[in-house]
Amino acid sequence: MKVLDTQGKEVGDKKLPAQFKEEVNPDIIKRAVLAIQSHNKQPYGADPEAGKKSSAELSRRRRKYRGSYGVGISRVPRKVMSRRGTRLNWVGAFAPGTVGGRRAHPPKADKIIDQKINIKEKRKAIRSALAAAMEKEIVKERGHETPDNYPFIIGNDFESLKKTKEVIASLTKLGLDKELSRSEKKTIRSGKGKTRGRKYKKTKGPLLVVADNCTLSKAAKNIAGIDIVEIKKINSELLAPGAEAGRLTLFTENSITKLEKEKLFM
């Protein structure tokens, strides 16, 4: 595969390691992404005693005056509000369907939300997503504006860029100007999510993969739609946001070398 420098000129050639030769399997990628997303969910649920705190003890026995025997009413739990002689004034309580009563099947905070996935299955999903990222047709089908010479590898000098404008200029010279303008767009979410802190929906742009923590991580983090990640920290959700494989991904030459040398995700 071609290696390009920050100016978009071809400076060499590099063979992709075995991790990119996995068969693209959308089902296993989706399973891995859903497992990652489940770890970010916060447990939620109702108070176990909600709706059960009122005294709704009303006898149905014949000999008890403080009861509803012979009144001709249903057996809904009731709490006594007042009394005049042998006549009691009550309202329904405790049962689902009564004012202030409990819910029939509320969400429970002790429910286990985390989904488990086997380590070999997780690695296979990452290899499958890596393979999909190198298929131009799959990347274009996902909606990315790919350059004519995609896929390619970026030279190591890309990792040493220190300013955001330098990163944008370099990506433009690599033919990603249309992709950058596409990932700048954001739309207003439909529905109630607008009032819950997520008014806008943003487009996912290119993923930049580097070998280690470098100056590029700070320089490019403020560009809309772009994510930067070290090769050892890569996962299925970054490679396939929304469980849809084929994100436009740019690897540096060092990251490919590290992937092959350390046999990551094998």
> What are the residues whose beta carbons fall under 8 Å from the beta carbon of 183, sequence distance 6 or more?
202, 203, 204, 205, 206, 224, 225, 226
Cβ 31 vs Cβ 243: under 8 Å? no
132 and 248 co-located in one domain: yes
User: Token pair of 243, please?
Assistant: 């469980």
What's the pTM? 0.84
- Quick one: CA torsion of 17, 156, 221, 150, rounded to 10 degrees? -60
Tokens at residue 39, please?
């770890």
Tell whether omega for the bond before 77 is within 30 degrees of 0, i.e. cis: no
47 lies in a domain?
no
Contact 239, 24 (CB under 8 A): no
Determine the Cα–Cα distance for residues 249 and 150; give it in Å rounded to an integer: 10
Q: What is the CATH number of the domain that holds 217?
A: 3.40.1370.10
Residue 21, pLDDT score: 94
Number of folded domains that form the chain: 2
Q: Which DSSP letter does residue 230 get?
A: E
Residue 72 pLDDT: 87
- C-alpha torsion 232→201→108→36, nearest 10: -10
Given this model, what pLDDT does residue 137 score? Answer: 95
Domain identity same for 25 and 141: yes
d(CA 114, CA 45): 15
Residues 31 and 59 in one domain: no
Same domain? 203 vs 250 = yes
- Give just the sign of the alpha carbon dihedral 156, 159, 162, 163: positive
Whether 64 and 141 share a structural domain: no
Q: Residue-wise pLDDT tens for the chain (266 aa)?
A: 899 998 989 898 999 999 999 999 999 999 999 999 999 999 999 999 999 998 888 888 888 888 888 888 888 999 999 989 878 899 999 999 999 999 999 999 999 999 999 999 999 999 999 999 999 999 999 999 999 999 999 999 999 999 999 999 999 999 999 999 999 999 999 999 999 999 999 999 999 999 999 999 999 999 999 999 999 999 999 999 999 999 999 999 999 999 999 999 99
Between the CA atoms of 146, 240, 9 and 210, what dihedral angle is there, to the nearest 10 degrees? Answer: 160
Predicted confidence at residue 57, as pLDDT, reads 85
> Domain residues for 207?
2-41+113-261
167 and 61 in one domain? no
In a domain, 61, yes or no: yes
- Check residue 246 and give its pLDDT: 93
Pairing type for strands 249-252 and 153-154 reads: parallel
Domain shared by 125 and 104, yes or no? no
Say how far apart CA 241 and CA 225 lie, in whole Å: 11
Same domain membership, residue 101 and residue 134? no
In a domain, 48, yes or no: no
- Residue pointed to by tokens 């997503």: 129
Of the candidates 52, 65, 160, the residue with the CA atom closest to the CA atom of residue 98: 52
Choosing from 73, 90, 111, the residue where a domain stops is 111
Residues paired with residue 187 on neighbouring β-strands, in sequence order: 201
Residue 142 falls inside a structural domain? yes
Distance CA 147, CA 172 (A): 10
